[in-house]
Structure 1
Amino acid sequence: MTERTTLDKKSPKKSKQQEDIELIAGDNSLDFEMYRNTTVFVTGATGLIGSSIIKSLLYSNQKNSLGMHLIAAVRSTNKAERIYGKLLERSDLELYIGDVTEPMVYKGSIEYIFHTASVTASKTMVEHPVGTIETAYQGTHNVLELAREKQARGLVYVSSMEVYGRPDSEFEYVTEKDLGYIDISSVRSSYSEGKRICECLCSGYVSEYNVPVKIARLAQTFGAGILPNDNRVYVQFAKSAIYGEDIVLHTEGTSEGNYCYIRDVVKALLLLGYKGEKGEAYNIVNESTHMQIREMAKLVAEKISGGKIQVRFEIPESTQAFGYAPIVKMKLSSAKMRGLGWEPEVDLQQMYERMICDMMR
């Protein structure tokens, strides 16, 4: 039986996000026994990555009777209610209401922490660079202190491929040691430099306090379950396909993208919770998805929309207002993460198909 075509208006009964959650729970490469009878604390739990971790663990908890207790750290109760709905009625899910920039106080034990909270909108990075850096540093400091206090078994810090800046062009594949140049005079660097200092802070907590933190350097992550207010480039391309509108690029589109599907990312993060070396960074990327932005736009126009839309270029004199990241030519290596037994499964076309299927429900 073939998967329903992307732009078919008749959505299946089960969402692609739910399919992903069930596939994660049934994945034999993950040892869910490591999470049995533990408390798992997730920051940024109303974001795509944080909410996907919570929902996946809730399903696994119920399916396998793991006895887990999940804590979703959020700033907005209303947003949490929109994202989790009836799941909030479950006894194994607890909301922690607060801002990560404030000290975290929790009376019970915590065995695992996934720190996914971060500024993610490019426009915010440009308009509020101070807040972007403060959220990154102070939030990560507070999470590390919580892990230290609770003597957590595992902490995963979600970083970004943007820590690489502009690596040396001689690298065929960029590994975890190949950091490049970042222009610290650019306000957009508030995000990438914020991630770098947080990684340095993680290393400090490993060395000085033996906090078992692993660093996950994520490629651009999207897929089923994307949030309605997400307006990043891949969502804009998807909306163009859905509404039959041409894709308009405001740059030459020569920057090279590295991507990974949300299901594959969640599996990698859950694996890092209990596996990998503390203090080490791991690229999480599907190497087969590497391509230029203009190539991705062409894929959406030709493969996803069936040639019903085109790619057009309308390049203004200045793109600063858009908050775009600097042009980067970089192909990330996932060899280190694959060495732990992880393998990405979903290619770029499938990523769009599954995301759009849920967007149209």
Structure 2
Amino acid sequence: MKKHNGETALVAGGAGFIGSHLCRALLQQGYRVVCLDNLLTSRRSNLLALEAERDFTFVEGDVLDPLPQELCDRAGDITRIYNLACAASPPLYQADPEHTMLTNVVGTDKLLRFAEQTGARFLLTSTSEVYGDPERHPQVEDYRGYVSCTGPRACYDEGKRAAEAMTLDFARVGRADVRVARIFNTYGPNMNPDDGRVVSNLVCQALLRLPLTLYGDGRQTRSFCYVADMVQALMLLMESEAAGPDPINLGNPEELTITELVAAIEAIMPHPLEIIYKPLPVDDPTRRQPDISRARAVLGWHPETALSEGLAKTVAWFQRELGRNVPAKETRRVARVAAV
């Protein structure tokens, strides 16, 4: 990837899990980076090392509000806008469904208008959730999905579908140069210990020597991509002159059951794991696997990090995080959330 010395990238949602890794990678590519985040579901601690960098600026703000003046003052320098501004785990995005929906729709509209104003290329991070509980497997980009528009996940699923529609509409009439990434399950360091995602849930429960909670019978499948591979894909997509505005799947095409994920985690732990089963949440997909043929053809990309390697790095990070930063009462809270 070529260096981009002197150019400025805006990362909305840059204090989040993927966003913080993206900010670091952009700095390494020579970008000046402006991170915009409201810190509602992300963590300022993800940015501690970055804030020592001369070319990194953190701006606290919500994409539903008028863009901060500090950001507007730098409009002439911004050449790339990454929109990662939305909670991405069910417990967090369901906690305030109105805010989730509006972040995806109103927030995306504001950032698209900012891209139009600045001439910056815009990348929307959409999600595999636009496929719902898919009837077609694996999922390809032209599959229109099987989504409940009235269920508890709709604020996120339909919000992202609307964000995609708006982004493509801006592209059709020439108002912005856009890219759309449909991100599948991603894991790695900087995940929030109590975000309710399957990897963070299981790893934290294992480290705290709690029973691991499996929903359903454990045979539902996911495809897990290590965060460094995902960030590389996002940057390749942003810089691609061939990708165009059509959505592109980004994720690991290796499908495994949640039971197999538990076995992979147990292989890293020094103690055996106990498992308890709970009912599958409403509208939770039973299968999820990306077809990444387009990413391979257009971007020359595929994930390179083996699950065993990525999980080992993730477990080591959570071990430090839980041991160093989480007091006893907070540890109990993490345990309760992980068991929900």
**TM-score above 0.5:** yes
**Of residues 274, 277, 281 in structure 2, which corresponds to 1:310?**
274
Q: Structure 1 residues 248, 143: CA separation in 2 closer, same or farther (over 3 Å shift)?
A: same
Of all paired residues, the percent bearing the same amino acid is 24
How many residues matched? 312
Residues of 1 paired with 2:285 and 2:39: CA distance?
34
- Residue 251 of structure 1 is matched in structure 2 by 216
Kept after mapping to 1: 8 A contact 2:92/2:195: no
Q: Secondary structure at the match of 2:260?
A: helix
| CA-to-aligned-CA distance 1:258-283 (integer Å, 9 cap, x gap) | 22110000000111111042311111
Q: Secondary structure at the match of 1:226?
A: coil
Q: Secondary structure at the match of 1:296?
A: helix
- Residue 138 of structure 1 is matched in structure 2 by 106
Q: Which has the higher contact order (CA 8 A, sep 6+)?
A: 1
Q: Structure 1 residues 131, 250: CA separation in 2 closer, same or farther (over 3 Å shift)?
A: same
State the Cα distance separating 1:250 from its structure 2 match.
Answer: 3.5
- TM (norm. structure 2) is 0.85
- Residue 15 of structure 1 is matched in structure 2 by none
- Residue 357 of structure 1 is matched in structure 2 by 316
| CA-to-aligned-CA distance 1:179-198 (integer Å, 9 cap, x gap) | 22111121321111111010
- Residue 154 of structure 2 is matched in structure 1 by 189
- Residue 334 of structure 1 is matched in structure 2 by 292
Kept after mapping to 2: 8 A contact 1:148/1:209: no
Structure 1: unaligned runs, 5 residues or longer = 1-30
**Of residues 32, 35, 39 in structure 2, which corresponds to 1:72?**
35
Residues of 2 paired with 1:36 and 1:125: CA distance?
36
Alignment of 1:54-69 (within 5 A): 54-58=23-27, 60-61=28-29, 66=30, 68-69=31-32
- Residue 6 of structure 2 is matched in structure 1 by 37
Residues of 1 paired with 2:179 and 2:49: CA distance?
32
- Residue 244 of structure 2 is matched in structure 1 by 278
Q: Structure 1 residues 333, 98: CA separation in 2 closer, same or farther (over 3 Å shift)?
A: same
Residue 69 of structure 1 aligns to which amino acid in structure 2? R
State the Cα distance separating 1:81 from its structure 2 match.
Answer: 4.8
Structure 2: unaligned runs, 5 residues or longer = 321-340
Residues of 1 paired with 2:16 and 2:43: CA distance?
10
Alignment of 1:165-314 (within 5 A): 165-169=132-136, 171=137, 173-275=138-240, 276-288=242-254, 290-301=255-266, 303-305=267-269, 308-314=272-278
- Residue 323 of structure 2 is matched in structure 1 by none
Residue 291 of structure 1 aligns to which amino acid in structure 2? L
Kept after mapping to 2: 8 A contact 1:81/1:88: no
Kept after mapping to 2: 8 A contact 1:298/1:311: no
Residue 279 of structure 1 aligns to which amino acid in structure 2? P
State the Cα distance separating 1:87 from its structure 2 match.
Answer: 3.3
State the Cα distance separating 1:229 from its structure 2 match.
Answer: 4.2
| CA-to-aligned-CA distance 1:116-169 (integer Å, 9 cap, x gap) | 1112231244343222111111111111011110001x2211111000113334
